[in-house]
Copies of this chain bind each other. A is one copy, B any other.
Amino acid sequence: MLEDASAKGMLAASALIAHGRGEAFDYLLGEVTTATALGATREAAARLSGGVRSVISINGNVAALAADDLIRCSALLGCPLEINIFYRTPERMTALLEHMSERKAAVADSPAPTGWSGNGDQSWAEVVSAVRILGDEPNATIPGLEGPRAKCHREGILDSDVILVPLEDGDRCEALVAMGKDVLVVDLNPLSRSAMMGNVTIVDELTRFCANLLATLLEGAPVVSRGWDNEANLKSSLDEIYNNISRTDSSPES
């Protein structure tokens, strides 16, 4: 999927390298969603549902790997998606906007996810069609960032209170936290700056996370925790990697 996205001009050159880093961390996790990650996913679902102006930020890798499920999540949440990329060029933005529009049309045409209980008298196609995909005409900037990477939509990222930023760059994550937003990060490296900076960090592979987020939203959003401790969450994620490696360590094949 990433090779195709790269050929379509959706990705920066470094995007594939970043993906490979994630693959290695997933390998260390045993390529499974851990109990800790599932708990963090449920917390993210609760916060996105409870947000007054939730938004989901989409970069090139996210668009390539998880467009469909995130469009479904946006439809359930009634929140916009905003394409927001680190290396913003007109060509990449056009390729990403086209891809997301295509995927939105495809998701609207496909059956509603199992467990969808409806939304008044709207059909699934209508609910999906109402999802706004922002990014084409940024009219604001994220304070503390410079150049094209600061650009965003006022009605999307700028005025949001809760923001899901899968696979986000550390600087941008920091800037969003500094704006006082509730920042939900998906990152396979529990020691990355984004992971440490976020308010809720889900240490899981993106497509598994999106499937779990969707399932959680379909079940009905859980309640936001009173005392979410993201440091403990990261520590627990790191322990899971550590335990997985030490299990492997005792029996290298020869």
Q: Could you list which residues of chain A lie within 8 angstroms of chain B, going by C-beta atoms? A: 2-3, 6-7, 13-14, 16-25, 27-28, 189-191, 196, 231, 234-235, 238-239, 241-242, 245-246, 248-249, 252-254
Contacts and interface: CB of A to CB of B under 8 A. Distances in A.
A79 B70 CA distance: 54
A179 to B, nearest CB: 19
Contacts of A7: 13
Contacts of A14: 3, 16
A14 to B, nearest CB: 7
Contact of A6 (B13, B25, B235): B13
B196 A252 contact: yes
B248 A245 contact: no
Given A3-B13, A242-B249, A24 B189 contact: yes
Contact of A2 (B17, B28, B245): B17
A238 B249 contact: yes
Contacts of A241: 245
Contacts of A246: 242
Nearest to A230: B254
A222 to B, nearest CB: 25
A8 B13 CA distance: 13
17 contacts: A2-B17, A6-B13, A13-B16, A16-B20, A17-B20, A18-B20, A20-B21, A21-B24, A21-B27, A24-B189, A27-B189, A196-B253, A235-B252, A239-B249, A242-B245, A242-B246, A245-B245
Contacts of A231: 252, 254
